[in-house]
Each structure stands twice: as C-alpha cells, then as structure tokens.
Amino acid sequence: MGRGIAQALADGGHRVSVVESVAEVAAHVEALDHPRIALRGLEDAVADCDLVIEAVSENVDVKLALWRRIDDLAAPRTLFATNTSSIDIDELARVLGDPTRLLGLHWFNPAVVVPCVEVVLGSLTGEATATAAAAMMASVGKQPIRVRTAPGFVANRLQFALFREAMLCLEEGLASAEDIDRIVQTSFGPRLARLGPLLSADLGGLDTYAAILQYLSAHLGERFEPPQSLMRMVAEGRLGAKSGAGVRGLDAAEYDELSRGMADLLRDAYRRPDAAPVPRS
C-alpha cells in the first residue's frame, strides 16, 4: 500500500519521500524509478514535508511507537495521516502533542487505480487539517470522502459484512466459493458499483427491503434486524422511488428519471460481469 500511495502522489505531481525498513519492499520502490520518489531515512523524510502518511502494519502498538517518533521529528506545520483500515483515529492521536494535526487517509488497493480515499476525522481533527488533506487527495485525481472515525470506518464495515456472509454461505454448503463470487459478479455487484446500496434500496422499494430483512432476521438472527431508521421511513410512507421520497432524499422527478433509465444506466455495468481475473503465471 505504501508503494502504491507513493506512486499515486508522485504521478499527481508531488515529490515523495519513502521510508521503508524491509529491504525487499525498498527494492520494489527503487524499481519504480520514478523521478519524484526517493528513499530516505525517517528523520530526513519528515523534517521538511507538508504531509506524512503512515502505512505500517495494522498494529496499534507499532503505529503508536512510530507516531511518537514522527511527532518529535516533524515540523509544526506538517499534517499527519494514517492509512489504517480500521483503527480509531482518536486512539492514535492521543500520543501527539497536537492531535488536531492527525486524520485518517484510508486508501484502497491498488492505490494508483482506486479513486476513493476515506478522509477519516477524529474527534479532535482540525478543520484546516481535513480541508488541506482532502485538497491534496483531489489534486492527484482521487475522490476524498469525509467520514467520522469508528471501528472499520464506512468502507470496511460494508465490505466485511459482505465477506462474512459469503464465508457463512460457503461454510453452510449453500454454493461453491467460485459460484458465490459469480453470483455477486452477475447479480447485485455491478448494480451496487454503479448506484451504491442506499440508492439501490430507494429504487427497489424500502418497504420491500424492510420485509426481506424482517424475514431474514426471523430465520437467521439479529444480524439482519432492520434498522430503526428504515422502519421509521416505511411507517412515514417514505418508500423510495415509488413514493417520491427515500434515503437519498431525491425528489419524485429525479427518482422517476432514474427508474425509467435503469436499463441504460446499468447496461455497461453488466457487460461481461462474469469475466474472472486472469491468474498471473
């Protein structure tokens, strides 16, 4: 991830210093032969930079030890970011002299390709820090999306909920691993990629989604219990496109336009959706 982040920033026009303690990974960084990327020691790298992005292993103690060192070495103007996938930003910020300088920049693999970067705000993250970091992400062609700190943030709560259910379906013998992946690739996966889960629900009908969740929770347990916010919307008659009001807050005309154009909207998304990635030799 660190190498990919460095390349994405360098490709976007920034000069990047990389600190890497693993010789094999450092060799991969050197192999990039990028004119804007240099391998440097920690003290040299952080002494005069605009932004430090930490991308060490997902271990709280390892991260805390590194942040204590960075805090001692960096200039007061330097912004701090962690690429953690799940650790609470506040847990890391507590070791800094000025916790307003720290936020999360959660990139996704491969970092040079995936546009989303979750800009994760701790309870003490300063607005100036958030604004500057988001602007830097936008400057290299990424889509910075603000979220509040919580275990797993947003992307991994969604991603790992799906992964957990996929593993349970495999464990219960409902389908093979290959077929579970193919079901996602050829059914709701491309639709979710184009619309997202909440707009998909609005177009499908929130009352229908609520009824399905109630049935699933009755048979599979409380992990499928419908959220109170969903049940409240259904009780208020906010059913999505069919009623002209839903989760996404579009008006009736916007929902109607989306509903009428669904086939065209999704046609490209479903072109060869079952094409499996080719294994590297």
Assigned domain for 76 exists: yes
Assigned domain for 164 exists: no
Q: pTM of the entire structure?
A: 0.89
CATH value at residue 61:
3.40.50.720
Assigned domain for 169 exists: no
- To 5 degrees, how large is the angle CA 234–CA 240–CA 241? 145
- The values of phi and psi at residue 39, to 5°, are -80, 130
**Where in the sequence is the domain holding 124, given as residue range(s)?**
2-148
- Domain check: are 117 and 221 in the same one? no
Please write the tens of the pLDDT for every residue from 66-95: 999 999 999 999 999 999 988 999 999 999
pLDDT of 281 above 50: no
Please write the tens of the pLDDT for every residue from 209-257: 999 999 999 999 999 999 999 999 999 999 999 999 999 999 999 999 9
Give one word for 163, left, alpha or beta, with left for phi > 0 and alpha for psi -120 to 50.
alpha
Q: Is 106 designated active site? A: yes
Cβ contact 63:92 at 8 Å: yes
CA–CA distances in Å: residue 166 to residues 76, 169, 171, 176: 46, 5, 9, 10
- Of the residues 14, 28, 106, 219, which is catalytic? 106
**Mean pLDDT of the 183-201 span:** 94
Assigned domain for 159 exists: no
- Domain check: are 99 and 225 in the same one? no
- End of a domain among 127, 148, 169? 148
**Mean pLDDT of the 9-23 span:** 94
Indicate the pairing of strand 102-106 with strand 116-121. Answer: antiparallel
